[in-house]
Structure 1
Amino acid sequence: MLFGLLVSTAYAQTAPAGGQPSAFEMFVPFIFIFVIFYFLIIRPQAKRQKDHQKFLSEVKRGDEVVTSSGILGTVEGITDQFVTLEIAPGVRVKMLRSQIATSQKAATAEDKK
């Protein structure tokens, strides 16, 4: 009697309750996490990068800009890859165009907020 009770208890513990989940059911959490990452991280970063590329294409001579290293200057010359900034009267620095972070007006507007 006791042996029969132990065997039936053992079978009850090892028997699957509802079977194994399908492959789709196993990937649903991963799909859900990817969708969250896409909308919270990937999409906003791509939009920010697109806006920055548009800003860089519209930079022209005379614009006041801030570089990614924090240097404030006025654009004196511009080519496809390089920008010449005047950072002080008579002091000019040549740097990569991609290193321009934002316009000086936008940077000061963010500081006032």
Structure 2
Amino acid sequence: MSFLPILLMFALLYFVMIRPQQKRAREHRELVASVSAGDEVVTSAGIFGVVSEVEGDVVWLEVAKDLELKVVKGTVERRFTEPGTAEEFEDPIED
């Protein structure tokens, strides 16, 4: 019976910390696998760009007109066009 509290603590630790992290890792793997040309993405370094080409583990991001960066596919953090994100980063200055 003295092992029961220890087992309960490990079970709680698993469901509170480990499970959510595994879920986030799975979602990130799915996102990275689904990146394709034309996607607007944000990298883990905070670089915003449009995917112009995917070559295996490398993604070419167009960050400005005639300026492309070569980044590792795994650094893509999220899609910029996900609901609720595009409005946050629009330029408020109108011409």
Structure 1 stretches of 4+ with a deviation exceeding 3 A read: none
Aligned residues: 88
Partner of 1:47: 23
Unaligned runs of 5+ residues in structure 1 are 1-24
Shift of the 55–28 alpha-carbon distance from structure 1 to 2, 3 Å rule, reads: same
TM-score (norm 1): 0.71
Which of 33, 39, 43 is the equivalent residue of 1:57? Answer: 33
2:78 counterpart of 1:97: no
Residue matched to 2:43: 67
> Structure 2 counterpart of 1:108, which letter?
T
Which structure is higher in helix share? 1
Which protein has the bigger strand share? 2
RMSD (Å) for aligned C-alpha atoms? 1.9
Quote the residue 1:80 is aligned against. Answer: 56
2:15 counterpart SS class:
helix
Structure 2: runs of 5 or more not aligned: 89-95
Of structures 1 and 2, the one scoring higher in RCO (CA 8 A, sep 6+) is: 2
TM-score, normalised relative to structure 2 = 0.84
